[in-house]
């Protein structure tokens, strides 16, 4: 397996350290002006070790991709504004169903198209969908689907069947999520995708694509 580069280790360690500060309360202590030095040092050491052992799994190209100011702002906006709103809506929907004596649910698995170029984006969207109550991303697949083309002009004496045989079918790769949905309100893949993904996919696309 390819070894992680130094920039990849640094980037991974920085991300881990930020999460350490958020989870341990170190960031709040810094803002208040009373930092716990031992906590900061331990977090730094742990983050470096995590970076050394895991950077090669998480970073394959540009190590500082997310540290681009524009992308980082979009990431913060997604984490602070977009995802919490969708999470609240999903929690409210599931809570209302649970409190309803009739328990209106119609569980099933739907196939939803996703238009993201980055594998990181696909992973982030899949996990976001799973974290919102009522939906679980079960699998991610890539399939060949036909490309819509302009109607072919028929030559004199030519039938539509002849024209269809003469023109090869063009295809493209399309990513699909298989999602378990607590209430299958739509079976059409696009309609179901719009209802499940909400604003999540657009938010993720601004970060990674």
Residues 102-129 pLDDT 10s: 888 899 999 999 999 888 899 999 999 9
Q: What is the pTM of this model?
A: 0.75
CB 183 within 8 A of CB 175: no
Per-residue pLDDT of 63-104, as tens digits, reads 888 788 888 899 889 988 999 999 999 999 999 998 988 888
Contact 187, 195 (CB under 8 A): no
Question: Where does 59-199 have alpha helices with state H?
Answer: 69-77, 83-99, 119-131, 160-166, 189-197
Task: Mark residue 160 as left, alpha or beta (left: phi above 0; alpha: psi -120 to 50; beta: remaining).
Answer: alpha
Q: Where do the structural domains in the chain lie, given as residue ranges?
A: 6-67, 71-208
């Amino acid at each position: 397996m390819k070894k992680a580069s130094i920039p990849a280790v640094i980037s991974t360690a920085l991300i881990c350290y930020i999460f350490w500060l958020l989870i341990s309360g170190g960031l709040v202590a810094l803002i208040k002006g009373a930092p716990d030095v031992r906590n900061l040092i331990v977090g730094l050491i742990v983050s470096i070790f995590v970076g050394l052992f895991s950077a090669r799994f998480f970073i394959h190209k540009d190590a500082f991709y997310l540290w681009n100011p524009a992308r980082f702002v979009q990431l913060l906006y997604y984490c602070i504004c977009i995802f919490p709103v969708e999470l609240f809506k999903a929690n409210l929907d599931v809570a209302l169903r649970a409190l309803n004596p009739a328990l209106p649910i119609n569980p099933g698995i739907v196939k939803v198209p996703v238009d993201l170029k980055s594998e990181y984006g696909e992973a982030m969207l899949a996990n976001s969908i799973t974290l919102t109550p009522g939906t679980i991303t079960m699998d991610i697949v890539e399939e060949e689907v036909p490309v819509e083309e302009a109607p072919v002009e028929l030559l004199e004496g030519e039938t539509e069947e002849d024209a269809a045989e003469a023109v090869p079918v063009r295809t493209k790769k399309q990513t699909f999520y298989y999602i378990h949905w607590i209430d299958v309100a739509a079976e059409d893949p696009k309609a179901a995708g719009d209802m499940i993904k909400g604003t999540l996919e657009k938010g993720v696309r601004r970060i990674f694509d």
